[in-house]
């Protein structure tokens, strides 16, 4: 029997990994509220450097009342915004056999959900995928460097982790199991916690524009170094060359607008706390000075407040 996967939050990331898992032979269903009509009719069109990942889900759900099955994996790719009870949204789709897979950006994003489902396998996932939603049901994947790093939270691996990593790889991408998923999150935050806020504050600045001069490269290098200081204080030290590697890798990519920049351009709510606020609070807890990140956080809160008036 095919592995059953339910994708909750089937935007760009959710649809992309839904396509990868469908190509691996999984029975993939999706919850697609805003794109329900188009996805029900046409499925997903996914243009990827891995090839055509377009697929038609087994079931397309508008809400939990329509779910009549059980999933081996409930893959959660919801945006993390204030006032959203993720556990309440997930609960109707979880059976005793379901492994919950949190594929969401940021740091310290797991505890609320893990505590709500103590009896279920709980997997945290860190995605490197560079995908954009171009239109309802239409997704573009931009980068050859694509990985989904998976591990039990707060640490360790399991059969459910290694199976899912294998399915991601079988679908043509790269699934990696790790014993230290929190460390993997800090490694991703070295990029996310800096480039995402700058992109949003710049009105949708793309990556090469952010790194367009020696002065801006130096500023970004110092901001990434602040993330590294927090990670080390939190017990997950990153390699000393992390800032230089992040900058060099970003310049090898296409000139890409990050997710927070895309949200700001579209007038959508931004994931400020998951991507930056939580890191700042961890720094404060450890007594670590991070003036550049503190400034970015304050400026983002100002921008967010402007948007509610």
Say yes or no: 168 and 240 in one domain.
Answer: no
Any idea of the CA torsion for 179, 17, 203, 186, to the nearest 10 degrees? 0
Q: Is the pLDDT of residue 204 over 60?
A: yes
Residues 15 and 148 in one domain: yes
Considering the domain architecture, whether residues 35 and 164 belong to the same structural domain is answered as yes
3-state helix, strand, coil in the chain (%, to 5): 45, 20, 35
146 and 194 part of one domain: no
List the helix and strand counts (H, then E) for the chain: 13, 12
**Is residue 149 domain-shared with residue 272, that is, in the same domain?**
no
Mean pLDDT of 68-93: 92
Angle between helices 278-286 and 291-307 (to 10 degrees): 140
* Residue 82 clears pLDDT 90, i.e. is over it: no
- Give the H/E segment covering residue 133: strand 131-135
Query: Do 53 and 104 sit in the same domain of this protein?
Result: yes
**Quick one: tokens of 167?**
């399915």
- Those residues with Cβ within 8 angstroms of residue 56's Cβ, 6 or more apart along the chain or in another chain: 42, 43, 44
Please provide the average confidence, as pLDDT, over all residues in the chain: 94
Helix (H, G, I), strand (E, B) or coil at 172: coil
Q: Are 78 and 84 in contact (CB under 8 A)?
A: yes
Report the CATH number that the domain containing residue 267 is assigned in CATH.
1.10.1040.10
The string of pLDDT tens digits covering residues 233-274 is 999 999 999 999 999 999 988 898 888 998 999 898 999 999
pLDDT at 307: 67
Range of the domain at 250: 183-307
What is the rounded distance in angstroms from the CA atom of residue 9 to the CA atom of residue 122?
Answer: 17
Torsion-angle region of 4 (φ positive above 0: left; ψ -120 to 50: alpha; else: beta): beta
Q: What is the pTM of this model?
A: 0.92
47-51, 185-189, 219-223, 227-231, range with the lowest pLDDT: 47-51
Give the residue with greater pLDDT, 144 vs 36: 36
**Last residue of one domain, picked from the residues 157, 179, 201:** 179
pLDDT at 49: 86
Does residue 169 sit in the same domain as residue 234?
Answer: no
Residue with tokens 């950006």: 105
So what's the pLDDT on residue 309?
35
Is the CA virtual torsion 205, 47, 109, 107 positive or negative?
Answer: negative
Q: What is the mean pLDDT of residues 62-68?
A: 91
More confident residue, 83 or 214: 214
Strands in 12-98 per DSSP E: 27-31, 45-48, 51-52, 60-61, 73-76
- The residue out of 132, 158, 179 marking a domain boundary is 179
Decide which of 179, 203, 225 is a domain's last residue.
Answer: 179
Q: pLDDT digits over 11-41, tens only? A: 899 999 999 999 999 999 999 888 999 999 9
- Quote the pLDDT of residue 308: 44
Q: Is the pLDDT of residue 144 over 80?
A: no
Residue pair 8/29 in contact by the 8 Å Cβ criterion = no
Is residue 252 located within the same domain as residue 232? yes
Residue 273, CA distances (Å) to 115, 278, 297, 298 in order: 19, 6, 9, 11
pLDDT of residue 83: 79
Q: Is the pLDDT confidence value at 175 over 50?
A: yes
Residues 268-308: pLDDT tens digits?
899 999 999 999 999 999 999 999 999 999 999 999 988 64
How far is Cα of residue 308 from the mean position of the Cα atoms in its chain? 25
Please tell me the total count of domains within the chain: 2
pLDDT, residue 153, reads: 96
């Amino acid at each position: 029997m095919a592995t059953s996967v339910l994708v909750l939050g089937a935007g760009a990331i959710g649809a992309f990994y839904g396509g990868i898992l469908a190509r691996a032979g999984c029975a993939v269903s999706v919850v697609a509220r805003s794109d329900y009509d188009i996805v029900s009719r046409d499925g997903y069109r996914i243009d990827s450097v891995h090839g055509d990942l377009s697929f038609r889900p087994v079931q397309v759900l508008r809400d939990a009342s329509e779910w009549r099955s059980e999933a081996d994996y409930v893959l959660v790719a919801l945006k993390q915004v204030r006032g959203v009870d993720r556990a309440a949204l997930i609960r109707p789709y979880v059976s005793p056999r379901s492994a919950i897979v949190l594929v969401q950006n940021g740091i310290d994003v797991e505890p609320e959900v893990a505590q709500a489902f103590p009896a279920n396998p709980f997997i945290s996932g860190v995605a490197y995928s560079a995908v954009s939603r171009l239109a309802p049901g239409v997704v573009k994947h931009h980068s050859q460097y694509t990985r989904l790093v998976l591990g039990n939270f707060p640490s360790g691996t399991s059969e459910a982790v290694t199976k899912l990593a294998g399915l991601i790889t079988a679908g043509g991408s790269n699934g990696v199991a790790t014993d230290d998923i929190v460390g993997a999150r800090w490694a991703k935050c070295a990029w996310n916690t800096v480039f995402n806020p700058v992109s949003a504050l710049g009105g949708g600045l793309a990556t090469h524009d952010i790194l367009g001069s020696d002065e801006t490269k130096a500023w970004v290098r110092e901001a990434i170094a602040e993330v590294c200081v927090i990670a080390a204080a939190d017990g997950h030290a990153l390699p000393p060359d992390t800032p230089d590697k992040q900058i060099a890798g970003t310049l090898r990519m296409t000139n890409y607008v990050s997710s927070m920049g895309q949200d700001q351009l579209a007038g959508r709510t931004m994931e400020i706390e998951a991507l930056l606020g939580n890191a700042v609070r961890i720094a404060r807890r450890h007594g670590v000075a991070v003036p550049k990140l503190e400034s970015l956080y304050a400026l983002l809160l100002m921008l967010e407040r402007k948007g509610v008036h």
